[in-house]
Structure 1
Amino acid sequence: MNVQIVEVGPRDGLQNESVIVPAEAKIELIKKLIDAGLVRIEASSFVNPRWIPQLADAEEVLQGILPASKKDVRISALVPNVRGLERARLCGVSEVALFMSASESHNRKNINKSITETFPVLAEAAKEALALGMRVRGYVSTVFGCPYEGAVPVDNTRRVTHALVEMGVSEVSLGDTIGVATPKQVHEVFQELVKDVTTERLAGHFHDTRGTGLANVAAALAEGIRIFDSSIGGLGGCPYAPGAAGNISTEDLVYMLHGMGYETGVDLNRLTEAGAYIQEQLGRELTSKVLKANLAKQKQEEHT
């Protein structure tokens, strides 16, 4: 049984770091992730650099990695609109991701538009990207809870998911943006959505803010989901819960999946090397439990 992992650390992880990692270090990280066997990597974002200064070097990073990437590796970037898409096109990107929220308040805070106002903006970008022969992915934030509204009705997510599918996105990633989801809720949401959208077109994007990230992956697996986003080392905190963990760690996810009998194509030892590299670049210990355990084991072996 195969599970696809979409590595979002270089984008979703690093955009939440206070330290701005140099472009050459980001390129080296992505190369290490590719060497570890990851074939889907979200490398950066073409959102206005004033919003996310940590990713202001998107062009340099993409131009540095795309020529060197292997044929079977899909390097993608986040774009907010047609302007962002044009920047991505000029870099040679062949896959882009669009994003919006399931909750009205978060969408306004994040995109400065209502959900209804956001649809035509993304539809225009999707149409242009598809015309250029690009793959298009969609993200839906705050599926399991909103920092401003609390619980989010599943019908909100259904409405946004359907709109993205109508735009032609190949896959919709459902996000637990603030890390409040529990397995019961994950079962319920995916059971509803798979009635209208096939499991092959849905992905899970879980955060470990409250320690339920991997349990939620297991719940989604039970509903037939086989695509999950994760971040090397657990990069990226939760902007709504200072000091809390953010994205689930790729190392932890791979360890669990392999232990459950799933195949990912990822070499955990090489993945550890990638985690150790970016941890050193940031100058702080990352939250991945498997990374910590593997590095401790290596250190012990060096002294015996």
Structure 2
Amino acid sequence: MTPRIPTLDIRRFDTDREAFVAELGAAYREWGFAGINGHGIPQAQIDGAYDVFKAFFALPEATKKKYHVAGGGGARGYTAFGVETAKGAQHFDLKEFWHIGREIPDDSKYREVMQPNLWPTEVPGFREHGYGLYQTLDSLGSKVLSALALHIGLPENYFVDKTDYGNSILRPIHYPPITSDDIPNERAGAHEDINLITLLVGASAAGLEVKSSRGEWVPFTSDADTIVVNIGDMLQRLTNHVYPSTTHRVTNPPGEQARKPRYSVPFFLHPNPDFVIDVLPSTVTADNPSRYPEAITAQGYLEERLREIKLK
């Protein structure tokens, strides 16, 4: 019997907190992944965002490339097909994507490392729908972090002032139809995420697979009302691997399914750029000694990883 990654109703955080925190923490300790439902995000909001994202990706290549920021590491705007490559992989991923970041004032101390957003004028409503979904997922992610903090003995609000100016990214992705069966590339090669947690909303087709602790690839195709939330490398490092950042991939579908496009929209929740990622003392034990004697800022860690995945 194929093992199942748990899905939990986040409304229980308010009605049955102790049990919910225990179950959620256990799911993440084992899988690094969980499904979250009961989140209250209207399907109409998700559909509206997907509609404008699909409209952008349908634009001519020359139009889309107007929104590429040369030398920007893909931090904002458009990244073309054939660029991002999973860490350690030989072949690029079969995808193109757009990045929406946090809106901050120009006089913010973070402006140097958090660039202004770009908004495609060819797609009406792109900014409204795109940034609306950004804010909604940012709020939901904060609630998940509150539960994870409680599970490892931290105050509920531990992450609040460490993520309020987080360099978080909403990434609409288009995986174009695959026209040849004889290619070594995958839609997304096996990888781990860089950030604290990732929230994936409404992927349009199957393909996501998660590598279990026993080395098996487990498909995770969630129900329409479920948001997939997984641990990233920054939280793994902060918690000394109590919360594992699990390897996952997006596989190429078989046969005629491969001739159809796939869309997904992950939200990568990051800490503030100057947050220092240093192993939490409460996660260091005789059985789990500190794996990271050196601390690093979130921005330093991000830049290191962007170079590894060929975005910088």
- TM bin (shorter chain): under 0.3
Asked which structure has the greater RCO (Cα within 8 Å, sep 6+), the reply is: 2
Larger radius of gyration: 2
